[in-house]
Structure 1
Amino acid sequence: MNSNKKELLPEQRDELLRTLKARFEKNSHRHKGLEWAKLAAKLEANPEKLWVLDEMEVTGGEPDVVGFDKKTGEFIFYDCSAESPKGRRSLCYDREALDARKMHKPANSAVDMAAEMGIELLNEEQYRALQELGKFDAKTSSWVETPADIRKLGGAIFGDWRFGRVFIYHNGADSYYGARGFRGSLRV
């Protein structure tokens, strides 16, 4: 990566585009009616977004297109790895929760890491929509963007897939587990 800008080197860009194209073609049920050529042109025109997608990829997110916003002309990517991305686990929910821990602090928080990567945590509606495209988090769980009223009370929410359905739970925002990470979204 170029250290001054959030931009990939040409060989990194080409490798990422090959990976994204293969995933796009393999999982056409996630984005019916969308064409790779239009998406590829949009990606080529937005090198900063390619950098973000690479961050999603290298942390284990396996980003893929899940929709297209006709109003804005943006393609919508979600992390589509079967389990919560490996490179984004063992994180408490946000900076406030991280700072509140007195002992055994994790390395980062989900909200901070998402911001550093340039993505947004999936909200509950998005998480449920993702689960309509397959079974995700059958062995792990993922932090979900938490409404302010829940966060104000010290909690945070997360989701997973168990017993043939999606569950959304709560936990203290300062908790963290080896099997809990977060999933993000990106608009290109």
Structure 2
Amino acid sequence: MSMKQLTEEQQVQLLERLKSRFEKNMHRHPERQWSEVVSKLEAQPEKLHVLHEMERTEGEPDLVTFEEEPEVLHFIDCSKESPKGRRSVCFDRAGLEARKKHQPENTAQDLAAELGVTLLTESEYRNLQKYGPFDQKTSSWIETPSSVRELGGALFCDYRYGQVFVYHNGASSYYGSRGFRGIVTL
């Protein structure tokens, strides 16, 4: 078994968890049938591994349909708050290395790459909130334009007062209540 494959037991447990979450949250994917989703998942075992890692880090991945891409399967972290297993991270490796003291253990981008996901874009984060609310007590790093990153900044979002807020911070900052949400597409 390679590092990217699950045991049969892990696969069965994961698919049961995903099916249960899928059925409890049909508003996130009203036009989808579980049989269609599971067929695509079983055909791509590497994606099952990614979903397992999202689950392991408490992301609670679920299928989310975007109006502009109804044919695409997007699994996104749907935990109410930024996943617990991915908090207290600065934005990227350059941000981490810029810290002289109190470096966090990891970065959002490095951890996302390890998990096999990408950080949400601002648009994806806003679309996710249609099925929320999410991040009412936490915040999540999002993909940041290179023009902002080149100046030392990075973007994050949260949901307060009935709307999404997009903020900036130094890429080297990290907080116990800031993590990131990932997305994997089939």
The answer to whether TM tops 0.5 is yes
- Does residue 132 in structure 1 map to residue 130 in structure 2? yes
- Is the Cα contact below 8 Å between 2:66 and 2:127 reproduced in 1? no
Output the aligned Cα RMSD. Answer: 1.6
Identity %, equivalent residues: 58
Aligned partner letter, 2:28: R
- Aligned counterpart in structure 2 of residue 51 of structure 1, from 43, 49, 52: 49
Aligned partner letter, 2:164: V
Unpaired segments of 5 or more residues in structure 1? none
Alpha-carbon displacement from aligned partner over 1:59-81 (angstroms, at most 9, x marks no partner): 01000001279989641111100
- Does residue 116 in structure 1 map to residue 117 in structure 2? no
- Is the Cα contact below 8 Å between 1:69 and 1:75 reproduced in 2? no
TM value normalised by structure 1: 0.95
Aligned pairs, how many? 186
Cα separation, partners in 2 of 1:70 and 1:87, compared to 1, 3 Å = same
Cα separation, partners in 2 of 1:116 and 1:59, compared to 1, 3 Å = same
CA shift at 1:5, angstroms?
A: 3.1
Q: Which moved more, 1:69-78 or 1:12-21?
A: 69-78
Partner residue of 1:187?
185
Unpaired segments of 5 or more residues in structure 2? none
- Aligned counterpart in structure 1 of residue 161 of structure 2, from 140, 163, 167: 163
Q: Secondary structure of the residue that 1:66 maps to in structure 2?
A: strand
TM value normalised by structure 2: 0.96
Cα separation, partners in 2 of 1:31 and 1:99, compared to 1, 3 Å = same
